[in-house]
Structure 1
Amino acid sequence: DPKAYVECLLKTYQKYAGLVAETFKGDSKFSACLDKSCREFINRNSVCENSLKSPELLARHADNLLKKGGKYESLDLEESLNQIITIFRYIEDKDVFQKFYSKFLSKRLVYGLSISEDSEGSMISKLKELCGFDYTLKLQRMFTDVNLSKDFDKGFQDVFKNSDLKMDFSSLILSTSAWPLSIPSCNFNCPTELKKAIDKITGYYNTKHSGRKLTWLHQHARGEIKASFPNSKIPYTFQVSTYQMAILLLFNDKDEITFDEIKSETALSDDLINGNLSIFLKAKILIENNGKIKYNSDYKSKKAKINLNVPIKTEQKIESEETHKNVEEDRKLYIQAAIVRIMKSRKKLKHVNLMEQVISQLQSRFKPKITDIKKCIDILLDKEYIARDEVEKDVLVYVA
């Protein structure tokens, strides 16, 4: 539980910070010892097997606080954000926090779950004050994209208000460089009902921006569909993902359908079909009969609006693993960039001194491993950005 974890860290910090302040009158040496101890127990403790877990849990706690409709809405939000920053100061792997925070922020913005724009801005300002402009640049760009998308969407609605589109449809135009959203990993045949709207938006976008390409991220899209059942007096509204919508719309033409037919019509992977079918079967919207999937004509619910767009556990696990993998890839690039900057400035440097300077430059963002620095030096030697001195083999030379 991220909340319990952060509260435990805070309780320990406040206990000893109070001790230093009251008993030792804030003595600088005791304060330095407190800071050193906090860095150790916050980054390496019995809950976290390594220093990468603590920033992830802190980012998850921040997401829970800033998410609309969460169970922590009654808390003093500004005070809670300040507490997060108190812990964040001691986090060694600030790039891991940034990656997860960015991922969670993107979901809050895409799905309209932010508790308020002011609170989001307050948190970003606190991070910017601690880590600098570059650290929050992409986070701020996300808000710019959302606001620009509102203007684009209004223009689209004005132009096509009298068109033959039989649905309410809105879109977000997001820049690839700022958003941590991956390209769909599987094929997808978009339902005919949606394709018409998508084609119109793409056409309208092309009239506004030449030379740009839109890539539709269907795995992040969602919508609502109305469903009527023979033995129910009222129609139901299902909140679904685009993939779920594609599966359910197949039952407009058939009462029952096989797994292979769903795969053929939607082009989705087996895992995605199985994951979404299990949600429908659990909700009893669909039933399984002799290897075929059939819509449940006896379906009834006390709620008129049902949310079926719940995360599939395997997707959550994969997402966390991918985020950590992206952190590792980014670190290689940061280390290589630091090496080139140092060597360009110094022109000639001993191997040991270069390692020390790389660690010094990057430790505010993350603590690079010696083995990773060595690998990056080898990569840059192969790319001929740097070379070994012909006389002193432990000296590296910048190659202009």
Structure 2
Amino acid sequence: DPKVYIETIIDIHKKFLKLVQEAFNGEQGFTAALDKACGKFINNNVVTQAAGSTTKSPELLARYCDALLRKGTKAVEETDLEEKFNQIMIVFNYIEDKDVYQKFYGKMLAKRLVGQLSASDDYEESMISKLKQACGFEYTSKLQRMFQDIGVSKTLISEYEKYCQNYHITDIVDFSVMVLSSNSWPFSGSSNFIIPIELKSTFDSFTEFYTHRHNGRKLTWLHQHSKGELQTFFTSQKYILQVSTYQMVILLLFNKVLTWTVERLQDETQIKSELLLQVLLGLLKSKLLICTDIHEDELDEDFKDTDIKMNYSIRLATDFKSKKLRINLNVPLKSVEQKDIEGVHRTIDEDRKMVIQAAIVRIMKARQILKHALLMQEVIQQLSSRFRPKIPVIKKCIDILIEKEYLERQSNEKDVLRYLA
């Protein structure tokens, strides 16, 4: 639990800081000893050891921030929240892997902005401002560009609505769109499908409007982050269903036929089978769809999406009933969430290699000739404010740069490196 973990760290720091200030009058040596101890236990403790990685603390700190900044957080006074942000920054300053925090924070900020889940733009900007103060402009530049994209998208939608009025485009559904610059947002491409006829004219008209205004730009639809609402007309009580785009695509097919096999659903939608089965499982558990090949009692926690076979028949539950009139079916898919976490760790490793190589080139360009051990020492020194580079990774990066002919080993002294202009 990020809340328990981070607030425990904050309480421990508070307790010993008070001790140093009151018992030792804030004496410099004791303050330095406290800082050293905090740095050690925050980056290496029972939780990080269980996870087998020092990157667990920055990840949990980012998750704690996410919980505070989301809508639906228990009412916290503005002054209390500002105090919590200051406490977060105390923990942040002890974190060794600040690049890990940056990645997770960016990923979660993106989800808050796209899902319109932020409690307040002012709080978001306050937190980014504190990070910028601690680590500089480069550290927060992508986070700030995300905010700019959201602002530009609001203007764009307003212009698109005028465009539709001017050209008398009426065969579209009520929709809004966010256009995000691919180099600022931590989203990977989505799994494509056949766009249903009910949505096609909307997609086409917006694409035409956008490409006409921005010649040469290409739009890639991020379906896994898109959502919408459907209204039921087959039930005596009308319900509003809040659904993901993938759920919408499947449910709209039941306007044509009330029963489909899983195989035919895939043929019609072209959604990848792994993803299709996960979406179907969610809809079956909601009891909006029924599978005649699966007994209702089987749909418990142990029932997996892989238990659904391609020849199974799926039909619309025409007698569907719910106590709620607005039903949220749009819960995150486990495959998407897991891939997100794996993707973050993968990009961290790749980014670090590039940062290390850039640091090596910078140092060698300035020094021209340098001993292998001294170069590694300087790389660690230069990058320690962002993360602690591992010696084997630095060695590997040196070898890569030798292969790329940025560096060479001195023929008479193998432990000395020379920069090649």
Regarding TM over 0.5, the answer is yes
- Aligned match of 1:183: 189
Superimposed CA distance per residue, residues 99-142 of structure 1 (whole angstroms, 9 cap, x where no aligned partner): 00000000111111111111000000000000011000000000
Is 1:84 aligned with 2:88? yes
| Pairs aligned (count) | 397
- Aligned match of 2:252: 249
- Aligned match of 2:153: 149
Is 1:197 aligned with 2:202? yes
Instruction: Tell whether the 8 Å contact from 2:9 to 2:42 is kept in structure 1 after alignment.
Output: yes
> Percent identity over the alignment?
52
Partners of 2:172 and 2:240 in 1: CA distance? 16
Instruction: Tell whether the 8 Å contact from 2:43 to 2:57 is kept in structure 1 after alignment.
Output: yes
Letter aligned with residue 5 of structure 1: Y
Q: What's the offset of the Cα at 1:74? A: 6.4
Is 1:126 aligned with 2:120? no
Superimposed CA distance per residue, residues 329-386 of structure 1 (whole angstroms, 9 cap, x where no aligned partner): 1000000000011011111111011000000010000000000000000000000011
- Aligned match of 2:352: 331
Q: What's the offset of the Cα at 1:325? A: 1.0
Q: What's the offset of the Cα at 1:71? A: 4.2
Partners of 1:72 and 1:222 in 2: CA distance? 27
- Aligned match of 1:19: 19
Q: What's the offset of the Cα at 1:66? A: 0.5
Instruction: Tell whether the 8 Å contact from 1:124 to 1:136 is kept in structure 2 after alignment.
Output: yes
Partners of 2:277 and 2:245 in 1: CA distance? 15
- Aligned match of 2:376: 355
- Aligned match of 2:221: 216
What RMSD in Å do the two structures reach over aligned CA positions?
Answer: 1.3
Partners of 1:190 and 1:386 in 2: CA distance? 52
Partners of 1:338 and 1:124 in 2: CA distance? 26
Instruction: Tell whether the 8 Å contact from 2:39 to 2:95 is kept in structure 1 after alignment.
Output: yes
Partners of 2:192 and 2:176 in 1: CA distance? 23
- Aligned match of 2:296: none
Q: What's the offset of the Cα at 1:72? A: 6.2
Partners of 2:335 and 2:154 in 1: CA distance? 33
- Aligned match of 1:165: 171
> Aligned ranges for residues 226-245 of structure 1 at < 5 Å?
226-230=231-235, 232=236, 234-245=237-248
SS of the residue aligned with 2:139? helix
SS of the residue aligned with 1:68? coil
Partners of 1:363 and 1:236 in 2: CA distance? 55
- Aligned match of 1:385: 406
Instruction: Tell whether the 8 Å contact from 2:59 to 2:104 is kept in structure 1 after alignment.
Output: yes
Letter aligned with residue 336 of structure 1: Q
After superposition, the Cα gap between the structure-2 partners of 1:338 and 1:107, relative to the gap in structure 1 and judged at 3 Å, is same
Superimposed CA distance per residue, residues 290-331 of structure 1 (whole angstroms, 9 cap, x where no aligned partner): 321111011111111111110123332221111111111100
- Aligned match of 2:302: none
SS of the residue aligned with 2:290? strand
Partners of 2:406 and 2:267 in 1: CA distance? 50
> Aligned ranges for residues 356-375 of structure 1 at < 5 Å?
356-375=377-396
Letter aligned with residue 134 of structure 1: E
Letter aligned with residue 147 of structure 2: F
Partners of 1:166 and 1:368 in 2: CA distance? 52
- Aligned match of 1:281: 284
Partners of 1:318 and 1:181 in 2: CA distance? 11
After superposition, the Cα gap between the structure-2 partners of 1:70 and 1:190, relative to the gap in structure 1 and judged at 3 Å, is farther
Instruction: Tell me the TM-score normalised to structure 2 length.
Output: 0.92
Instruction: Tell whether the 8 Å contact from 2:192 to 2:223 is kept in structure 1 after alignment.
Output: no
Partners of 2:172 and 2:354 in 1: CA distance? 48
Instruction: Tell whether the 8 Å contact from 2:242 to 2:330 is kept in structure 1 after alignment.
Output: yes
SS of the residue aligned with 1:89? helix
- Aligned match of 1:306: 327
Partners of 1:309 and 1:6 in 2: CA distance? 29
From 94, 103, 107, the counterpart of 1:103: 107
Q: What's the offset of the Cα at 1:225? A: 1.0
Is 1:9 aligned with 2:9? yes
Superimposed CA distance per residue, residues 29-88 of structure 1 (whole angstroms, 9 cap, x where no aligned partner): 111110011011111111122210010010011011101123465683212211111111
Letter aligned with residue 21 of structure 1: Q
SS of the residue aligned with 1:396? strand
Partners of 1:318 and 1:177 in 2: CA distance? 19
Q: Name which of structure 1's ranges 270-279 and 59-68 shifts more when overlaid on structure 2.
A: 270-279
Instruction: Tell whether the 8 Å contact from 1:284 to 1:299 is kept in structure 2 after alignment.
Output: yes
Partners of 1:382 and 1:134 in 2: CA distance? 29
SS of the residue aligned with 1:178? coil
SS of the residue aligned with 1:170? coil
Q: Name which of structure 1's ranges 51-60 and 385-394 shifts more when overlaid on structure 2.
A: 385-394
Q: What's the offset of the Cα at 1:271? A: 2.0
Partners of 1:316 and 1:72 in 2: CA distance? 28
Q: What's the offset of the Cα at 1:229? A: 2.6
Instruction: Tell whether the 8 Å contact from 2:172 to 2:199 is kept in structure 1 after alignment.
Output: no
Instruction: Tell whether the 8 Å contact from 2:172 to 2:201 is kept in structure 1 after alignment.
Output: no
Partners of 2:186 and 2:147 in 1: CA distance? 14
Partners of 2:192 and 2:164 in 1: CA distance? 29
SS of the residue aligned with 1:47? helix
After superposition, the Cα gap between the structure-2 partners of 1:372 and 1:343, relative to the gap in structure 1 and judged at 3 Å, is same
- Aligned match of 2:297: none
Partners of 2:326 and 2:211 in 1: CA distance? 36
Superimposed CA distance per residue, residues 241-265 of structure 1 (whole angstroms, 9 cap, x where no aligned partner): 1111101111010111110011111
Instruction: Tell me the TM-score normalised to structure 1 length.
Output: 0.97
SS of the residue aligned with 2:150? helix
